[in-house]
Amino acid sequence: MKTLEAQVITSEDLLKHWQGHRALTRRLIELFPEKDFFEFSIGGMRPFAKLIDELLAIAVPGLKGIVTKETAPFSEGEEKLIFKAQYLEKWDEATAEINEYWSQLSIEDFSENFNLFGQYEFPIIQNILYFIDNEVHHRGQAYVYLRALNIEPPFFWER
């Protein structure tokens, strides 16, 4: 018989935390000038559009795999988006899909192992924390880009 440890954060609060990060990332997408969203780079880092391609390829496909127990390989940038507005639309669609898949998780699921994208065998909670950490990491790059473009980004805590 498996027992659960005391819970530090509820599933609902973790989703709220993640969606708060996603809302802030969305605001950064909005702030980028169209051309710079696709082209601006510093020090060999990818433009923000490419970073968003990665985030879109991880969040919903990863969470869907967790919920359906299917380990599809990681696939990034198959859909060629050419306007920032398309990215914002995809971001909003992904936000709704995250909520949908999240509602299908049980508290017991978080401690189960899952082979994310057939490559990363960790407890589901660790995979989800990776989704959030990766987004925060790439959003940090976007903050640097915006400041280099003389655009004031929102405070990082405004989630």
Tens of pLDDT, residue by residue over 15-59, are 999 999 999 999 999 999 999 999 999 999 999 999 999 999 999
- The verdict on whether residue 17 carries a ligand-binding annotation is no
Using one digit for the tens of pLDDT, what is the confidence trace for 56-105?
999 999 999 999 998 888 877 677 899 999 999 999 999 999 999 999 99
Asked if residue 111 is part of any domain, the answer here is: no
Amino acid type, 22: R
Range(s) of the domain holding residue 24: 16-104+123-149
pLDDT in tens, 101-125: 999 999 999 999 999 999 989 999 9
Counting every residue, how long is the chain? 159
61, with CB counted inside 10 A (0-12, 13-18, 19+), is buried
Report the chain's terminal Cα–Cα distance, integer Å.
39
Inside any domain, residue 158? no
In a domain, 41, yes or no: yes
Q: What is the CATH number of the domain that holds 131?
A: 1.20.120.450
Is 44 a member of any domain?
A: yes
Whether 149 shows a pLDDT value over 60: the answer reads: yes
159 in a structural domain: no
Instruction: Give the number of domains in the chain.
Output: 1
Domain presence at residue 134: yes
Alpha carbons 51 and 56: distance in angstroms, whole number: 9
Look at residue 10 and tell me if it is in a domain: no
Instruction: Let me know if residue 6 belongs to a domain.
Output: no
User: Rounded CA gap, 159 and 150, in Å?
Assistant: 22
The phi-psi region of residue 150 (left if phi > 0; otherwise alpha if psi is between -120 and 50; otherwise beta) is left
Residue 58, pLDDT score? 96
